[in-house]
């Protein structure tokens, strides 16, 4: 049942995090039941010629960093794609859409032309789109789709204000306009040191995102960035997908039960949910 604007305002203002979380969990279960997906990521640097190491367990190979030139961006994708071709289930993602906007503008080419070049070099996914940094969110997300690529996740660079509702409503409106968003990660990538968030703030933002942005299928939390404890709580407050799980199975001599794969599975099950590994294409991975 849709939540009215008046109800949303009350939910955003309340300190009753349990009630907000229960409502968010209802929405989450309507979308996914108990299924909770996670993706194991192998990060590789954006520098041309840098070594590329891709663990066999990787479901997404992600080029991280900001490309310095159009040529460098395309060449690095070509290099990594050649290595990633041996990892059959892994999808290749790269770059921030806002960085690609700026790169296209600085080199006087259209964003679509740049995206098409990257796709021709082997790219499948634009790694992220920080919605608060995009010059024209609707147009840029549509350009990703038109170029034959997929946006891996819509993200937030920095929380815009203490009141998350206007921002979350703008994300919901963006999805109504473009209809292609698969994942929204509502917790900010950068924290303002002058106004740090608390765990309470973070899980409430996740819950409100699940309630307000109902048309985006998955609400995501970053395992590496926010840690297992907050990620586990977020899964009971509306999140259904976990990003940033290490693809390295080396448990540093501590045994299989301490491996990243077993840890993420154990944490999801402890929250009363069912872990399902996926790759960057959202295909289920069976191990």
**Domains of the chain from N-terminus onward:** 5-278 (3.20.20.70)
The answer to whether residue 11 scores a pLDDT higher than 90 is no
Is residue 130 over pLDDT 90?
yes
Share of the chain above pLDDT 70, in %: 93
Residue 250's pLDDT band, with cuts at 50, 70 and 90, is: low
* pLDDT over 90, % of the chain: 76
| Closest-CA residue to 223 (of 233, 209, 215) | 233
Give the up-direction half-sphere exposure of residue 116: CA atoms within 13 A in the CB hemisphere: 8
Close Cβ partners of 111 (under 8 Å, ≥ 6 residues apart): 100, 101, 104, 140, 143
CB 141 within 8 Å of CB 111 = no
Nearest Cα residue to 123 out of 82, 154, 81, 181: 81
Which pLDDT band, with edges at 50, 70 and 90, does 3 fall under?
A: confident
Res 195: pLDDT: 65
Query: What is the C-alpha to C-alpha distance for residues 192 and 159, in angstroms, rounded to an integer?
Result: 8
- Render pLDDT for 13-70 as a digit per residue (tens, 0 to 9): 888 899 999 999 999 999 999 999 999 999 999 999 999 989 989 999 999 999 999 9
Residue 99 confidence class, pLDDT cut points 50, 70, 90: very high
Secondary structure percentages of the chain, helix, strand, coil, to 5: 45, 20, 35
Residue 135 has pLDDT above 90, yes or no: yes
pLDDT at 257 over 60: no
pLDDT digits (tens, 9 = 90+) for 63-95: 999 999 999 999 999 999 999 887 667 999 999
Region 194-204: mean pLDDT is 81
Q: Give the separation between CA 81 and CA 123, rounded to whole angstroms.
A: 7
154-178 tens-digit pLDDT: 999 987 667 888 999 999 999 999 9
Span 202-232, pLDDT tens digits: 999 999 999 999 999 999 999 988 888 999 9
Please spell the DSSP secondary structure of 6-54, one letter per residue. HHHHHHHH---HHHHHHHHHHHHHHHHTTEEEEEEEEEEESSTT-----
Q: What average pLDDT does this structure show over 182-204?
A: 85
- The residues, any chain, with a CB within 8 Å of residue 85's CB and separated by 6 or more, are 122
**Average pLDDT taken over every residue of the chain:** 91
DSSP string computed for 187-244 = EEEE--TTS---HHHHHHHHHHHHHH-TTSSEEEEEHHHHHHHHHHHHHTTT--EEEE
């Amino acid at each position: 049942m849709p939540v009215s604007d008046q109800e949303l305002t009350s939910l955003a203002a309340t300190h009753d995090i349990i009630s907000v979380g229960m409502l968010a969990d209802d929405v989450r279960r309507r979308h996914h039941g108990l299924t909770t997906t996670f993706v194991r990521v192998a990060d590789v640097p954006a520098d041309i010629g840098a070594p590329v190491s891709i663990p066999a367990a990787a479901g997404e190979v992600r080029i991280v960093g900001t490309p310095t030139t159009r040529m460098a961006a395309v060449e690095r994708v070509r290099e990594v794609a050649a290595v990633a071709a041996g990892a059959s289930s892994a999808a290749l993602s790269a770059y921030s859409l806002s960085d690609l906007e700026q790169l296209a503008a600085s080199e006087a080419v259209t964003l679509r032309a740049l995206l098409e070049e990257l796709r021709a070099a082997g790219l499948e996914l634009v790694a992220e789109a920080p919605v608060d940094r995009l010059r024209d969110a609707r147009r840029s997300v549509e350009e990703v789709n038109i170029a034959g690529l997929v946006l891996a996740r819509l993200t937030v660079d920095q929380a815009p204000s203490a009141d998350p509702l206007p921002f979350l409503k703008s994300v919901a409106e963006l999805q109504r306009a473009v209809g292609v968003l698969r994942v929204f990660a509502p917790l900010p990538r950068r924290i303002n040191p002058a106004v740090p968030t608390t765990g309470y703030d973070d899980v409430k933002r996740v819950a409100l995102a699940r309630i307000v942005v109902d048309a985006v299928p998955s609400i995501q939390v970053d395992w590496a960035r926010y840690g297992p404890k907050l990620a586990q709580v977020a899964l009971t407050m509306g999140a259904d997908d976990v990003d940033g799980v290490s693809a390295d199975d080396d448990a540093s001599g501590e045994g299989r039960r301490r491996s990243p794969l077993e840890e993420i599975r154990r944490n999801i099950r402890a929250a009363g949910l069912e872990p399902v590994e996926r790759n960057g294409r959202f295909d289920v991975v069976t191990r």
